[in-house]
Structure 1
Amino acid sequence: MFKMVALFKKPEDTQSFDEYYFNTHIPLTQKIPGLQDVKITKITGSPMGESEYYLMCEMFYESKHAFKEASKTDESKASGKDVMKFAGNLVTFFFGEEHNG
């Protein structure tokens, strides 16, 4: 399983962020062909107390190849453009492969 992870720093206005993220951005993202699952985690703290991070979104694909193919679609491009519009200064992306251990 291949995944793309979006890690968001805490926005100034969490209520407005949540409203846009869950009602506009996520429905747009869920239209990406080949996307198998989306898991969203609200970050509530860290071992040292408060965290600078607010939310983590994991987007799952069957393989790296499936992700690359999905990335070429208009739906993926629309999702990427949208996230940069409303959270470009808050988001960091990275990729990973899950291993069952």
Structure 2
Amino acid sequence: MQVLTVLYPEPTDRAAFAEYYRSTHLPLCAQLPGVQDITYALDVCEPGEGPYYAIFRATFADEAAMGAALASPEGRAVEADVPNYASGGAIVIPHAAESFPLG
């Protein structure tokens, strides 16, 4: 499995970030070809108490699928949209992941 993790430092306006992120950016992410799962968290830390405000995670079958998704028109639209809400920037971490069986 290939994972795209995005860490968002504290934005200028948390409410504006959350509104735009949920109503505009996440629907764009959902259009990525081959995306299998999307999870996210906002308000990860209280203002001034941690380095990140939000975390995003999208999973793909493999590295090739993620690469194709990010290179697609939908992937370019997702990337171009980031400055519209992420005033604190974004740290993008593509990586492989393995599952650990429980029980």
User: Which of the five TM-score ranges fits, normalised by the shorter chain?
Assistant: 0.7 to 0.9
The alpha carbon displacement at 1:92 in A equals 0.7
Cα RMSD (Å) of the superposition? 1.7
CA distance in 2 between partners of 1:3 and 1:36 (Å): 10
1:29 matched to which residue of 2? Answer: 29
1:83 matched to which residue of 2? Answer: 82
5+ unaligned residues in a row in structure 1: which ranges? none
The alpha carbon displacement at 1:23 in A equals 0.5
The alpha carbon displacement at 1:41 in A equals 2.0
The alpha carbon displacement at 1:10 in A equals 1.1
Instruction: Please tell me whether the aligned partners of residues 12 and 87 of structure 2 are also in contact (alpha carbons under 8 angstroms).
Output: no
Question: What secondary structure, in the 3-state scheme, does the structure 2 residue paired with 1:32 have?
Answer: coil
Whichever residue aligns with residue 52 of structure 1, its letter is: P
Q: TM-score, normalised by structure 2?
A: 0.85
Question: What secondary structure, in the 3-state scheme, does the structure 2 residue paired with 1:87 have?
Answer: coil
Runs of at least 4 residues off by over 6 Å: none
2:16 matched to which residue of 1? Answer: 16
> C-alpha offsets along residues 34-84 of structure 1, whole Å, 9 cap, x if unaligned?
111111023136xxx911210000011000011111122111110110013
Alignment pair present for 1:56 and 2:55: yes
Identity of aligned residues (%): 28
CA distance in 2 between partners of 1:12 and 1:64 (Å): 33
The alpha carbon displacement at 1:99 in A equals 1.6
Question: What secondary structure, in the 3-state scheme, does the structure 2 residue paired with 1:53 have?
Answer: coil
The alpha carbon displacement at 1:86 in A equals 3.0
